[in-house]
Amino acid sequence: MNRNYTRIAIIIVVIFTLVSSGYSLAQIKTETAANYDLGIAAYERGHYTVALYDFETRANQGDKVAQFCLAYMLKHGMGVRAPKPNEALKWYEKSAEQGYAPAQNNLGFLYVRRAEATKSQDLKMRNLKNAEKWFKLAAEQGYAPAQFNLYIILDKQEVLDWLVKAAKQGYAPAQNQLGATYSLGSFHFNLGGDIPIDLQAAAEWYEKAADQGYGPAQGNLGTYYEAGKGVKQNYAKAFKLYKGAAEQEFAVGQFSLALCYHYGIGVPKNSAEAFRWFFSAAENGHVGAQNNLGAIYAKRYAKSQKDEDAEMSDRWHFRSAQQGDTLAQSSFGTRFEEALHEIPQDKEEAYFWYSLALQNIGDFENAENKDVAIRVTEARDRIRKSLKSRQISELEKRVKNWKPKQLHSSGTGFYISKHYILTNAHVVIDSSSDNEFNEFRIPYKLVELIAYDKDVDLALLYDKKGNTDMATFRPQPVKFGEKVSIFGYPQSHALSYKGNITDGIISGTSYLVNRPQHKDLFQYTAPVQRGNSGGPVFDGAGNVIGVCSTGYSYYDKVFTKDPSISGDWLPDIINLAQNINFAIKSSVVKEFISNVKTRLDLALDFPVQTEFHFGFDKDDNIQVPSISLPEQRAQAEKFTVPVICYKNKVEPPLEVAEIRIEELEQYAK
């Protein structure tokens, strides 16, 4: 019966789709699928359930185009609850085996992504071989995107011919890459010297791609016009090209556009526009833009003395330093040496950042680099005198093993003793790989992950420098309806480090039935957001009665849905808005700490011997003194911290082209 209702609903949407596309009922009755593609029409209007139904019906009848469209939608989770890459691969194969070039191309694309995702070298090579096979079959049909993709993944001499063929067909990514080939005098990433440098030819190919609005080519051609390489110098045209690239969210273009506004290159100076585009490029991960943004905020702080300007300067400089910017690294050496802003003095960290800057500074003959190198060397040597040989040895090992890092996520933690910080396990574990993140800071102080337990969602961090204030746990029972408050740092990778406090009540002991460990939780109504995870839950007197566990991976799967997915996920979103939040009971914290102390023999000053009687008081005998929220906030700020997680930067995925449904006609022969 339910299936019949579904079919009726789809038919109604089908009629609406066709009518709203300009088709009369008479046309709907007489026109066939051969001359009107219902699935494409529904897809274009965002009716993904209808599109999927039509594509699946025709795919099962052997229609190679429908098989491609079905595979694309399944791969991207459109019209279904979640992406289905394995099913997508199956349908791409069916279409590709019929010789359909777009499917052959996208099948090769999937194999490239599989190769990048595997740690096994044998499996990686097998997947790349499969990718090469399918790209070549499509390339031999004259399919330009596949010709370009074949060039990208191979390191053989003949791939230059494929690149040229794709470029001559007007494929913009190939034209841009051919421009880079002439610019560098090398036809591939791993081989050099096969063709001479020809800046004029490079500019010509960049221009062909730029004329099609291809952002990377616009950015590359802009540098040619700015410097007068291969073309007559033209600042106005360089500015126009940078603007085109910037408006497509191309970070290098955004940074170049910001510099144009900053220095008045091809446009009058405009500090507001320069700031705007520096900010956009920085948000898109451009290292130089992040450093420049940090410098802009530092100048603002020098005039305003406002804490928010200091924090913004610190944050952007630190992001840039973590990614390898020499000037930002030397700047953070100074911050740690002199305890600037709210960054604690730490001579070891200062020595580390100065040493890292010197390691990455490059050519000392460059006048600017030479001045920086002299200043940083003097600062490092000054600190070295105050360190012990063991400290220096450990720090130099850190420098040697350092890898560029990028900000990934954040949570909240709180000191339960002088040196130990409690947080959630899901804060410190990367859900995409189930591995620990590579580095943790609070927010700039380096801390070490000691232990975690995913079953109870708790983790312990170690702070070598320590903190004078710590949380006080309440061992007595709590009661339904009792007032609670939450202090934490929601979204602190994006919001300020000032912290938020919210209040509510203990509402129940409900738990998720398919997660047995949730018997260790209690439920409360205080609003929280991502990033509150791992923070303390307080009673009315400011005693800790639990650990905020919102943002658990189960919730991520249930509540974080792509808007393109059909409407049956909406009730879950509505439930989330009703304050279904959970905290880990203090008794579970006690057991976790006891296990960690025993297993690691930690000298942890935590009252694990205290008899926790955590439960729900049936006699309503517990009387808790109450303090105001401002008082609770002032108290919580002393021992609650943002936990910032970093991952080692990885090489970006190969820029192989995936064909979208919207592009099927664009590259058709």
Q: Is the pTM of this model over 0.75?
A: yes
pLDDT reported for residue 367: 56
Going by C-alpha positions, the residue among 323, 341, 329 that lies closest to residue 376 is 329
Asked if residue 482 belongs to a domain, the reply is yes
pLDDT reported for residue 279: 95
Give the least confident one: 229-233, 325-329, 526-530, 638-642. Answer: 526-530
Give the chain's domain count: 2
For residue 362, how many other CB atoms are within 10 A of its CB? 10
Same domain, 641 and 553: yes
Range of the domain at 594: 409-648
Q: Mean pLDDT throughout 95-118? A: 96
Asked if residue 516 belongs to a domain, the reply is yes
Asked if residue 343 belongs to a domain, the reply is yes
For the domain that residue 567 is a member of, what is the CATH number?
A: 2.40.10.120
In this predicted structure, the answer to whether residue 187 has a pLDDT above a threshold of 80 is no
Residue 189 banded pLDDT, cuts 50, 70, 90: very low
Same domain, 313 and 432: no
In this predicted structure, the answer to whether residue 559 has a pLDDT above a threshold of 50 is no
In this predicted structure, the answer to whether residue 553 has a pLDDT above a threshold of 80 is no
Phi-psi region of 55 (alpha: psi -120 to 50; beta: other; left: phi over 0): alpha
Asked if residue 150 belongs to a domain, the reply is no
What are the residues facing 413 on neighbouring strands?
A: 641
pLDDT reported for residue 513: 59
Q: Nearest 10 degrees: CA dihedral of 251, 255, 257, 263?
A: 180
Same domain, 367 and 418: no
Same domain, 439 and 546: yes
Same domain, 447 and 302: no
State how far the Cα of 278 lies from the Cα of 242, in Å rounded to an integer. Answer: 13
User: Which one of 403, 432, 458 terminates a domain?
Assistant: 403
Going by C-alpha positions, the residue among 579, 538, 537, 557 that lies closest to residue 426 is 557
Over residues 6-40, the pLDDT tens digits come to 555 555 545 454 444 444 333 433 333 443 478 88
First vs last C-alpha separation in the chain:
46
User: Which one of 346, 375, 403 terminates a domain?
Assistant: 403
Q: Mean pLDDT throughout 258-274? A: 96
Asked if residue 95 belongs to a domain, the reply is no
Same domain, 606 and 509: yes
Same domain, 414 and 305: no
Over residues 582-594, the pLDDT tens digits come to 888 888 898 899 8
User: Which one of 403, 432, 464 terminates a domain?
Assistant: 403
Same domain, 399 and 417: no
Same domain, 452 and 310: no
Same domain, 548 and 511: yes
Label residues 121-155 b or e (16+ Cβ within 10 Å = b). Answer: eeeeeebbebbbebbbbbbeeebbbbbbbbbbbbe
Over residues 525-538, the pLDDT tens digits come to 888 888 899 999 99
Same domain, 388 and 520: no
Over residues 343-360, the pLDDT tens digits come to 989 999 999 999 999 987
CA count, 13 A, side-chain hemisphere, 548: 36
Asked if residue 380 belongs to a domain, the reply is yes
SS3 content of the chain, % helix, strand, coil (to 5): 50, 10, 35
Token pair listed for 38: 């219902």
490/496: higher pLDDT: 490
In this predicted structure, the answer to whether residue 499 has a pLDDT above a threshold of 80 is yes
3-class state of residue 439 by DSSP? strand
Same domain, 364 and 421: no
Dihedral of CA 347/353/359/365: which sign? negative
Asked if residue 268 belongs to a domain, the reply is no
- What's the 3-state SS for 403-425? CCEEEEEEEEEEECCCCEEEECH
Asked if residue 396 belongs to a domain, the reply is yes
